[in-house]
Amino acid sequence: MNQLEFVKLHGNGNDFILIDEMNGKRIPDDEKNEAARILCHRNFGVGGDGVLFLVPSEKADIGMRLLQPDGSEAEMCGNGIRCLAKHAWESGYVGESFSVETLAGVIPIQVRRDRGVFWARVEMGVPRFERSEIPAEGEGVFIKVPIHGFEVSAVNTGVPHAVIFVDSLDLPVDRLAPKIRHSSCFPEGANVNFVRPGEHLEVRTFERGVEAETLSCGTGSVAAAAVARRLGLVGDSVEVRTRGGPLLISFVGDRAFMEGPAVTVCRGVISDEIL
């Protein structure tokens, strides 16, 4: 694995190490989990909220795999897929409209550059509220269920999300969220979003797999908007403000769309000493 090239990108501060495997595998599949644990470490590695692998696909124009800092693989990532889209577009693999195969399905994307800033509009699919599809214990929808002193709603927007509406986001998220993230209600765990409603939504997200709060979560922003819309708190379009920046979430019928930027931070070579 000498001269393993990488690109560092971020979507609203949610940062990723991208390994381009379109022209051949750079890290063997059975070593990807451990490589992600090493590379994501902010002291001993490159540092990031995950490792994106851009791979060929037989079902879509390109494919995406996301390995998280704990070595687990996520089904989907809203900020990550925008970063992947930016690299793929700038590398000439795709045009301005294309599709990405993920573990959550095939995701259509449109990209553009506006005043020097890269933007991607991602079709996020239909948010799934049925407990069996989140997954969550029980039957029916998961709306305003009391868990550890909070009213928790849950939805799958590519990955499972718990959504909690609060009056203030001045909360010890890293202390409160793990109790809900590991609740027996969620057999596969859940990301946890604390949301302050209003003309726009303000969100803080604790991410499963990262096991910490991140500056932004794309699927979490969609989850917050989807639950708020279901409860009549917002309409078909809403700005979601994360700690790393805003995202525009909109709905056409039941289908959700996310629009936001992505930024290339740097390019480099990973030493074989750490892998």
Which of 40, 83, 185, 217 is the catalytic position?
A: 217
In this structure, the chain runs to a length of 275
Identify whether 266 is a catalytic site residue: no
For 223, other C-beta atoms within 10 Å of its C-beta total 34
List, in sequence order, the alpha helices (H) in 6-70. Answer: 32-40
Identify whether 77 is a catalytic site residue: yes
Alpha carbons 199 and 152: distance in angstroms, whole number: 21
> Of 52, 40, 56, nearest to 78 (Cα)?
52
- Complete DSSP assignment for 192-257: EEEEE-SSSEEEEEEETTTTEEES--HHHHHHHHHHHHHTTSS-SEEEEEETTEEEEEEEETTEEE
Which of 77, 83, 185, 266 is the catalytic position?
A: 77
Question: Which of 167-203 are b and which e, b meaning 16 or more Cβ less than 10 Å from the residue's Cβ?
Answer: eeeeeebeebbbebbebebbeebbbbbbbbbeeebbb
For 42, other C-beta atoms within 10 Å of its C-beta total 11
Residues acting as catalytic residues? 77, 217
